[in-house]
Amino acid sequence: MARKLLIGISAQGATVARRRGNRIAECEVFASDESGYAAFREYLTTCEYIPASLMVDTVEEDYRFETLPHAFGSDRAQMVTRKLRQHYRNTSYVTSWLLGRDTSKRRDDRFLFSALTNPELIDEWLKAVIARGLPVAGIFLLPMVSAALPQKLDIKAGNLLIVAQHSGGLRLTFFRDRQFRLSRLTRGDNGKSSDRARFFGEEISNTRLYLHALRTMTLDEQLTVLLLDRQDDLVDVAAAVARDNPSVDCVRIGRNELSTRLGVSESLLDISPYVIYLQLLGFGASQSNLAPPSVTVGYKRHQARRAIYGATAAIALGAAIWAGADLVKTWELRGAEELAARDTAQLSAQYLQITRRFPAAPASAESLKRTVEIAQTLREEARTPRAMMSVISRALQSSPTVVIRDFAWKYGTSEIEVENRSARAAETAAPAAPVFDPRMQPKPALVRKQSALIEGEIRPFRGDYRDAIDTINGFADRIAKDPSVAEVRVVKLPLNVNPTLQLSGNTLDNPERQTGTADFELLVVFRPNV
């Protein structure tokens, strides 16, 4: 828990408490005079850099309930600021507290405006704090701080009046449904027990009348009066109040109970009545901070620094946990790897022992098998032109005029070259020797096919191109009918009837004489792996 400096200021002086952890560790009281201010400044020099929260208990306070049209964001802020300026021109210690929405048709916003109307009361104290360089977290009015008291003391009354004797007089603060409504600071207790009971009773009655006048609460309604008796000297008062006011339920919280419920040592309760409220102030930021931004700028920076250091620590911690987890995982992996290596060595040794009993072999079993299988595959994949020649021979039997001059055959992944025969060997040399890479995906089975280019002529040829072409086409058709053949393509015919080319010849019809030649070329392609 962070350390805090808690300062309760009244017209009589200041009560300064230093909070460590969840408790007030020490408390001192300074009078509201030059010697008190000097002592306070001296005291502050002993304080390290900790945020300070100020609380004021004074009659020079003001509370107003206002309803404003419902608005959001900057509109609401501007409206509230304008309203605060209207009400409180002479002080910068003002604040507003949004209480909720009105139940009327317009559902306006309900605000509680509060102000410290005499800023001079805290000037000297605040100057000393700022001069010391301590960040000011906020300035609060005591009744606002006491709003946390019913919850801390577990008081569930709907109409609750907290009554406590302070150095400046009797403080009466009224809460309805745990929401602040009214607070008064009166003077006049002379300390005598009989007078005190009457005084308390009168002030409680006055407050009830005032609440009735404000229409906050009727006189018939049940009221719970909570007497804060830090010195156990209000037993008679509590009894008198209960006796004199039938509609009042008087609850006295004594010294021991205050100490237990609030976590303040009894010795500290003796020092000042403000210790109770300073303890409440230390629990957390109260609503209605009166301090203007110029006062809290140091605290904002302090918070920013803390946030940055917090983020830094979180990052460092996160990184340390992450890196630590990584290192632990690495250590586990190394251990597992060593174990696996030992197991591998053991298995390898066993395997070696077994292999010593194996028959002598020139290579590993896997290599033996694979090599024999590869040789078998290579033999099975070997091809000769026999199948192609057989197909062509069968087709030739029905075409006695077809004469083959040249027969080129190829067995490869691509067909035989048609245009440039001299380059046919390229396919065998072109692919670069593949480098064996075990990471490579296995390639699909090799697909090769046989292809042949047949150059021939029609003999005898006596100028009848139609007949020659029919003969060639018939020859090609007979080849194509063989089930092994995937494709037959006539690459060249005796007569090129392309209209873009020149064409010349002799039409002399002489059965004894050969007229020109009827050359042709056929490409035959077998189905793959035939």
Partner 1 sequence: MNQADFIALRTPLLVLLAVLLVAAAAVYSTEQIKASAQRQMAQQEGRLKEARTRLQKSGDEKDIIVRYRDAFRALERAGFVGEEKRINWLDGLRLTNQQADLFGVDYEISAQKRYRHAAALEPGQARLYESTMRLRFRLLHEEDLLRFFALLERQNVGIFHLDQCDMRRIDTRGVIRYQPNLSVECELSWITARVPPAGGPK
Distances (CA, A) of 30 to 12, 35, 100: 9, 8, 39
Residue 31 or 333 with smaller CB distance to partner 1: 333
**Contact between residue 522 and residue 471 where contact means Cβ atoms under 8 Å apart:** no
CB of 406 to partner 1, least distance (A): 5
- Nearer to partner 1 (CB atom), residue 98 or residue 327: 327
In the bound complex, what is the minimum distance in angstroms from residue 297's beta carbon to partner 1? 8
CB-nearer residue toward partner 1: 101 or 370 = 370
Q: Are strands 109-116 and 402-412 parallel, antiparallel or unpaired?
A: unpaired
Contacts of 255 (CB under 8 A, 6+ apart): 229, 230, 231, 232, 266, 269
Helix (H, G, I), strand (E, B) or coil at 154: coil
Q: Is the peptide bond before 119 cis (omega within 30 degrees of 0)?
A: no
Q: Cβ of residue 76: shortest distance to partner 1, in angstroms?
A: 25
The distance of closest approach from Cβ of residue 426 to partner 1 in the complex, given in angstroms and rounded to an integer, is: 11
Query: Shortest gap between Cβ of 337 and partner 1 (angstroms)?
Result: 5
**Is the CB of 246 or the CB of 359 nearer to partner 1?**
359
Least distance from partner 1 to the Cβ atom of residue 315, Å: 5
- Which residues are within 8 A (CB) of 293 and not within 5 positions of it... i.e. 6 or more apart? 300
List, in order, residues 6 or more apart from 439 with CB less than 8 Å away: none
At residue 260, φ and ψ (nearest 5 deg) are -70, -50
Residue 129 CB, shortest distance to partner 1, in Å, is: 17
Contacts of 373 (CB under 8 A, 6+ apart): none
CB of 376 vs partner 1, minimal distance in Å: 9
DSSP codes of every residue in 440-480? SPPPPPP--EEEEEEEEEESS--S-HHHHHHHHHHHHHHHH
Q: Which is nearer to partner 1, 31 or 446 (CB)?
A: 446
CA proximity to 266, closest of 23, 1, 52? 23
Cβ proximity to partner 1, 101 vs 306, nearer residue: 306
To the nearest whole angstrom, how small is the minimum distance from the Cβ of residue 387 to partner 1? 10
3-state secondary structure of 67: strand
Least spacing, CB of residue 518 vs partner 1, in Å: 16
Shorter beta-carbon distance to partner 1: residue 105 or 357? 357
Choice between 107 and 300, CB closer to partner 1: 300
SS3 188: coil
Helix (H) or strand (E) holding 32: none
Q: Which residue, 61 or 415, is less far from partner 1 as judged by CB?
A: 415
CA distances from 93 to 132, 216, 315, 345, 372 (A): 21, 26, 39, 82, 101
Q: Which is nearer to partner 1, 21 or 359 (CB)?
A: 359
- To partner 1, the closest distance from the beta carbon of 375 in angstroms equals 5
Identify whether the C-beta of residue 504 lies closer than 8 Å to the C-beta of residue 474.
Answer: no
Q: Residues with Cβ < 8 Å from 492, sequence gap 6 or more?
A: 519, 520, 521
**Least separation, in Å, of the C-beta of 294 and partner 1?**
12
Residue among 7, 106, 97, 15 nearest 55 (CA): 7
**Paired strand residues for 403:** 457
**Other Cβ atoms closer than 10 A to 517:** 12
Neighbour order of strands in the sheet with 109-116: 61-68, 109-116, 94-101
**Cβ contact 488:426 at 8 Å:** no
**Residue that the structure tokens 């002399």 belong to:** 508
Min. distance of Cβ 431 from partner 1 in angstroms?
5
Cβ 109 vs Cβ 96: under 8 Å: no
Contact 523, 493 (CB under 8 A): no
Nearer to partner 1, 98 or 347 (CB): 347
Q: Which is nearer to partner 1, 70 or 342 (CB)?
A: 342
If the CB atoms of residues 222 and 384 are measured against partner 1, the closer one turns out to be 384
